[in-house]
Chains A and B, each alone.
Chain A
Amino acid sequence: MSEEKNDLIDVQINGEWHSFPKGTRMIEACRQVGVEVPHYCYHPKLTSPGNCRMCLVEMGMPPRPRPGDDPPEPDETGHLPISWIPRPAIACANTIAPNMGIRTESEMTEECREGVMELLLANHPLDCPICDQAGECSLQEFSVEHGKGESRFREQKVKKPKNVDVGPRIRLDDERCIMCSRCIRFTDEIADDPVLGFTDRGSHTVLTVYPGRELANNYSLNTVDICPVGALTSNDFRFQMRVWFMKETKTIDVNCATGANITVFARENKIYRITPRQNNDVNSDWMPDSHRLNFHWIESDARLTDPLVRDGDKHRLATWQEAIATTADKLAGLDGSEIAVIASARMTNEELLMTSRLVKHLGAGHVDVVPREGENDGYLIAADRNPNTNGVMLVLGLENPGSQLEAIKDGIAQGRIKALLCLQENLVEDAGFGSELLSKLDFFLTSYPLANPTADIADVVLPGACWAEKTGTMVNVTGRLQRLNKAVDGPGQTLEAWEIIRDLIQATGGGNGIYSATDIFKQLAAEVPEFADLSWGQIGDLGIPLIETGETIPLLEREKERIEKGLIVG
């Protein structure tokens, strides 16, 4: 108790005393008690050069008596009087001290902010109508609060390069840049690809790429997110949609087992962009470009929109009832050992629970998922490119996902397996199942969001929802349970995989009354020991640790080191 007390420091913020741990930055102390200090260059995950000067605040300390004078007397609350320093201090790079006073609403602070804003805006172009950052621009926001409303600058504005290609995915506008250096620090400290820097001096300073190099690393688009103005913009999102039109959905990335927390921005059922969402236990503030941009296929022409049933050599459109009834018919005469189910580690836990029920119900002799192994990139991308392999092990009960695939291939080749249900997987392209092998089957059902060579061979093709169109939970590489939220509606007649499997179970004779993914989660909590007593709401937006896997995320480990060294706030 006493030890804890010793680590806390009393600081007065806008007249009220609060306690903070030793070493807290002034700006963080203010934030913790709900006092906003405007800033541009400061970012908790990067070092603080303190160069934008926007976070200047009035600061005071107890007076130091001259030798021989009486020391100051504490007041009735036990705090010493504060003598205010006539010079402002930056809140981002200074840490708090005992009995310190901070004023963020004083006349001097306001004058400082107005002065900084006026200088920042002096050369800033009137680009807001064409600038992608408009609507989420710190410069816009703070100029509303602290700007003058008109310019006293009568001279010609400094002209700088506009619309510069700095990399394959990024466009730079130097006139908009306010020289906060966040992008420079990010590429240097986080992405280990220091290609950006400032050249020239004074008001002619420009952000440039090192000659002959480009900003091309797989984390480059994070610089667009942290750019407080519209200097760095994404080529992919350029002029696509104004930010205020879009609906934000908090969900998770499914391109690898890390399960980076993301926000999906959509308008009228179309996804326009994806940005990382802060989760210090998963992806910090960042995400790889390759994952961020992997959403355009959702709108592809190859999306399956209706159930298809084979009619001779071709497929014809069918209703869900017909497709499900056909499947039930074909499966009816078969023994369990003649049926194989290949599910996907891209499915949610809820979908996997339904799959395990279907497997039990059919008595299917073979169950597996398709593994996807890649390389860990040393930052955020996990070696396992399936988002929910841990869920497969917990919910579907597979001890070694992928180990059964060869046995299933053999079974089909030898004619022991007569029916194959492929749920949310692409067997031909991703699992090495030959078209000839699959055509040996008496009955082959596939469900996938996109038309593919696997679907060409199938007897029944069911349109499945993709990750952005479904709700559920997944367990990431570190064993964290996270929620996937539906951002847009699926096209046409698509259904989420759990709905498809529920209908399959019902059609093959079993009844159940499941109407939502959260219903299944309740059953998951009742049936799977690791999920015991968990509720949907408990998971929250940031997820909760579920199991210990012993895996770590390299970027987070480095971040922890940097926090310990005091380089960053974290």
Chain B
Amino acid sequence: MAIVVKRPKLKWWEHLYLPALAQGMRVTLGHFIKTLSGKKKVTMQYPEEKWDDQLPEHYRGAPALVTDVQGRERCVACQLCEFICPPRAITIKPEEIPSDDKWSKVEKRPKAFEIDMIRCIYCGLCEEVCPEQAIYLRKDYSITGTSRAEMVHDKERLYEIGGVREGLVNKWNELK
């Protein structure tokens, strides 16, 4: 459903932009004076200092796989994220869970799960399409590497970023 945004009707003097410009300059000048007189610090020493705790809950950083509180890997390798991924960043190789595994009743898991972070566009469709609550966009935004290979996140790295997530639906537990 489309959201209709109501645009404010501007007065004639607002159309000139000059009052707004002056207002902006006043704020800048205020910061300038405060900084100059040592009363306030407005710059941050990135990357030593970060603003990460200010990131909103819906922030879309690097996609990662999560485990639940029982320690089960959530992903069952349904490959829907691989299908939906617009830049085709995701590659999954499924495998059967061996019968002696604690979670053998889930039957299927990813043998390899790779996200090419050079391709990833942080759109979040993988998270949206996931029927198993297994992939989430985390707050990691500074994904760097010195080679292309390093920029491909494998399963291990994805679980490392993703960590354990609480409050997930446990459809594979007792009822199964």
Q: How far is the CB of B72 from chain A (nearest CB, A)?
A: 14
Is A156 on the interface with B (CB-CB < 8 A)?
Answer: yes
CA distance A128 to B107 in the complex (A): 12
CB contacts (< 8 Å) of B78 on chain A: these are 128-130, 134, 242
Q: How far is the CB of B89 from chain A (nearest CB, A)?
A: 15
CA distance A130 to B96 in the complex (A): 10
Contact of A128 among B77, B82, B94, B131 (CB under 8 A): B131
Contact (Cβ within 8 A) B105 A129? no
Contact (Cβ within 8 A) B175 A129? no
Q: Which residue of B lies closest to A135 (CB)?
A: B83
Residues 142-176 of chain B, each 1 if its beta carbon lies under 8 Å from chain A, else 0: 00000000000000000000000000000100011
Contact (Cβ within 8 A) B96 A239? yes
Taking CB atoms and an 8 Å cut-off, the chain A residues in 107-138 that contact chain B are: 125-126, 128-130, 134
Contact of B76 among A125, A130, A238 (CB under 8 A): A130
Is B79 on the interface with A (CB-CB < 8 A)?
Answer: yes
Is B132 on the interface with A (CB-CB < 8 A)?
Answer: yes
Q: Which residue of B lies closest to A244 (CB)?
A: B83
CA distance A163 to B94 in the complex (A): 17
Given contacts A130-B78, A157-B175, A239-B94, contact A162 B105 (CB under 8 A): yes
CB contacts (< 8 Å) of A157 on chain B: these are 175
Residues 73-97 of chain B, each 1 if its beta carbon lies under 8 Å from chain A, else 0: 0001111101100000000001110
Contact (Cβ within 8 A) B95 A242? no
Taking CB atoms and an 8 Å cut-off, the chain B residues in 77-124 that contact chain A are: 77-80, 82-83, 94-96, 105-108
Q: How far is the CB of A439 from chain B (nearest CB, A)?
A: 45
Contact of A239 among B83, B108, B132, B175 (CB under 8 A): B108
Contact of A129 among B96, B131, B176 (CB under 8 A): B131
Taking CB atoms and an 8 Å cut-off, the chain B residues in 40-82 that contact chain A are: 76-80, 82
Contact of A156 among B105, B107, B131, B175 (CB under 8 A): B175
Q: Which residue of A lies closest to B104 (CB)?
A: A163
CB contacts (< 8 Å) of B76 on chain A: these are 129-130
Q: Which residue of B lies closest to A127 (CB)?
A: B107
CB contacts (< 8 Å) of B171 on chain A: these are 126
CA distance A435 to B76 in the complex (A): 52
Which of A156, A163, A242: most chain B Cβ within 10 A? Answer: A242
Query: How many A residues, CB 8 Å from partner?
Result: 16
CA distance A245 to B84 in the complex (A): 11
Given contacts A125-B176, A128-B131, contact A242 B79 (CB under 8 A): yes
Q: Which residue of A lies closest to B107 (CB)?
A: A130
Q: How far is the CB of B68 from chain A (nearest CB, A)?
A: 15
CB contacts (< 8 Å) of A240 on chain B: these are 94
Inter-chain CB contacts under 8 Å: number: 38
CB contacts (< 8 Å) of B131 on chain A: these are 128-129
CB contacts (< 8 Å) of B96 on chain A: these are 238-239
CB contacts (< 8 Å) of A242 on chain B: these are 78-79, 83
CB contacts (< 8 Å) of A134 on chain B: these are 78
Contact of A163 among B80, B82, B107 (CB under 8 A): B107
CB contacts (< 8 Å) of B108 on chain A: these are 129-130, 239
CB contacts (< 8 Å) of A129 on chain B: these are 76, 78, 80, 108, 131-132
Q: How far is the CB of A146 from chain B (nearest CB, A)?
A: 21
CB contacts (< 8 Å) of A239 on chain B: these are 77, 94-96, 107-108
Contact (Cβ within 8 A) A245 B176? no
Q: Which residue of B lies closest to A238 (CB)?
A: B96
Q: How far is the CB of B108 from chain A (nearest CB, A)?
A: 4
Q: How far is the CB of A137 from chain B (nearest CB, A)?
A: 13
CB contacts (< 8 Å) of A244 on chain B: these are 83
CB contacts (< 8 Å) of B132 on chain A: these are 129
Q: How far is the CB of B58 from chain A (nearest CB, A)?
A: 25
CA distance A126 to B76 in the complex (A): 13
CB contacts (< 8 Å) of A130 on chain B: these are 76-78, 106-108
CB contacts (< 8 Å) of B77 on chain A: these are 130, 239
Q: Which residue of A lies closest to B130 (CB)?
A: A129
CB contacts (< 8 Å) of B79 on chain A: these are 242, 245
CB contacts (< 8 Å) of A125 on chain B: these are 176
Taking CB atoms and an 8 Å cut-off, the chain A residues in 202-240 that contact chain B are: 238-240
Q: How far is the CB of B114 from chain A (nearest CB, A)?
A: 15
Enumerate 23 A-B pairs (CB-CB under 8 Å) in ascending A order. Answer: A125-B176, A129-B76, A129-B78, A129-B108, A129-B131, A129-B132, A130-B76, A130-B78, A130-B106, A130-B108, A134-B78, A156-B175, A157-B175, A162-B107, A163-B107, A239-B77, A239-B94, A239-B96, A239-B107, A242-B78, A242-B83, A244-B83, A245-B83
Binding site for A on B (CB under 8 A): 76-80, 82-83, 94-96, 105-108, 131-132, 171, 175-176
A130-B106, A242-B83 known, 15 other contacts, Cβ within 8 Å: A125-B176, A126-B171, A128-B78, A129-B76, A129-B78, A130-B77, A130-B78, A130-B108, A134-B78, A162-B105, A239-B77, A239-B95, A239-B96, A239-B108, A242-B79
